[in-house]
Structure 1
């Protein structure tokens, strides 16, 4: 609220008085506002975006840790002492690499399931924003006939 100098005593000028409150509803209005569910839906979508970002970061960190440990292990095994042992060492390295990739796939699957569960919860919250349509089965009357 801003006080404006005037010849009249106690002249008060409010910026909010300039706007028609029916055109610009606010959260502080006492009457129900139709735009609040829209803001809630936008907030839910922002939360979903945040969930996706957090999930991808968690997966990236876990996968990076698992890959780094596997690479260190493989580099430690990479020293050949005898050329005759090369095929056995190669098989061991390939098995370790495959195991690492399998672990990462399992991490991805677990993280995807957690994200899917969180997004399903947000989807249910979004569904509850709008009232359900009440259609009685008895009110439907077919107005056409099948042509023979």
Structure 2
């Protein structure tokens, strides 16, 4: 079919290619927010688990663990703003943005797997972390698809 008769404008092709990547970024953000909210709601139970399992019942370690526990909700807030900006900037097709999304997928998945394996949290939370790792793995596959990579090739940088 000639290009002039096409029903899909040529500019929508990159958006179609990027749509799964952006959706997975938002799904990952949703998992982060949900786990942060659960951390807030069940903070005492999580601390009890950590003090019993990680600190060997040392009550003095509870204060240190509590400080670390609150890093998650705070970091989710910061990451939320970063994700919103990255999703918007992906449409600009800047290679630096692509590399950042790639790093989020790789390092985020590795971090979640580490948290699951190290058993720093109760089982129910590790299941959520494992699900988030699966989303990040899907993001890694989505962002490394040839159609996505070609949008951010070095010679196509803007």
Q: Which has the higher Rg, Structure 1 or Structure 2?
A: 1
Shorter-chain TM range is: 0.3 to 0.5
Taking structure 2 as the reference length, the TM-score comes to 0.35
User: Which protein, 1 or 2, shows the higher relative CO under an 8 Å CA cutoff with sep ≥ 6?
Assistant: 2
